[in-house]
Amino acid sequence: MTYSRYIATIKTTGKDIWNDEKPSSYSPYLIQRGLFSDDASAMGILNAANQRVMDKELHYKFLLHSLPKNVKYAAQSKKKKDKYLSIVKNYFDYNDQKAKDAINILSLHELEQIETSFYKGGVKR
pLDDT in tens, 64-84: 888 887 766 555 555 555 788
Residue 52 CA to residue 62 CA, distance in Å, equals 11
pLDDT at 94: 93
- Tell if the pTM clears 0.75, that is, is over it: no
Q: Identify the residue with better confidence: 40 or 57.
A: 57
Q: Maximum CA pair distance of the chain?
A: 60
Q: Identify the residue with better confidence: 3 or 47.
A: 47
Residue 94 CA to residue 35 CA, distance in Å, equals 37
